[in-house]
Amino acid sequence: MAGMATGTATGTAGPRTLRARLRGLLREAAKFGTVGALGFLVNVAVFNLAAQAAGLGPLQSGVLATSAAITTNYLGNRHWTYRHADKSGRRREAGRFLLFSGAGMLLENGVLAISHYGLDLTSPLADNIAKNVVGLGIGSLFRFWSYRTWVFHGARTRHAVTAAAPEGRRTGPAGPADAADPAAPAGSARRAA
């Protein structure tokens, strides 16, 4: 009978935890997407100004545009999307952010290079589609995965703990859920789900 009660409790806790995780992931993705939209506007504006107005080559323009967007995205993600992430390791965080952003930049501008130089699609429209639609889409998926896995991972753990905590323990960013060891509750939640 005790086993049955435990099974029932686990059965209700599992879906609730899964729902809380999915809500947290959707909220995180929405914030990431909003910051990304702003970065996209910066990326497209700088790319077209550099390529069309300044007459720079497509890859030079792409690197300048992506660098400007990376700066915008770091500030937006650090201070909004992942504002609850541990702030004690900022140098390591910034280094990882730059590393994974650089990898995303290679993906994004690699698509542009293949399109422009490999496929000889050299019109401004073709360059914009290659870089700002296909390349940016691939780069954004990679960045979302890498930022949440390697750069701002402390925020995800703490939000999962806070979301899975009973109502009485949810007291916000400085509450008891944040004071606990983030690795232990996250592991417990994974075992229960």
Q: pTM for the complete prediction?
A: 0.65
Among 25-34, 38-47, 162-171, top mean pLDDT goes to: 38-47
Q: In this structure, is residue 123 part of a structural domain?
A: yes
Q: In this structure, is residue 187 part of a structural domain?
A: no
Query: pLDDT for 105-155, tens place per residue?
Result: 999 999 999 999 999 999 999 999 999 999 999 998 998 899 888 888 764
For residue 159, give the nearest of 145, 175, 143, 147 by alpha carbon.
175
Q: In this structure, is residue 168 part of a structural domain?
A: no
Q: In this structure, is residue 156 part of a structural domain?
A: no
The number of domains in the chain is 1
* Mean pLDDT, rounded, of the chain: 78
> Which of helix, strand or coil describes residue 47?
helix
pLDDT at 99 over 90: yes
Cα separation, 35 vs 77, in Å, equals 7
- Which domain, by its residues, includes 76? 2-82+89-151
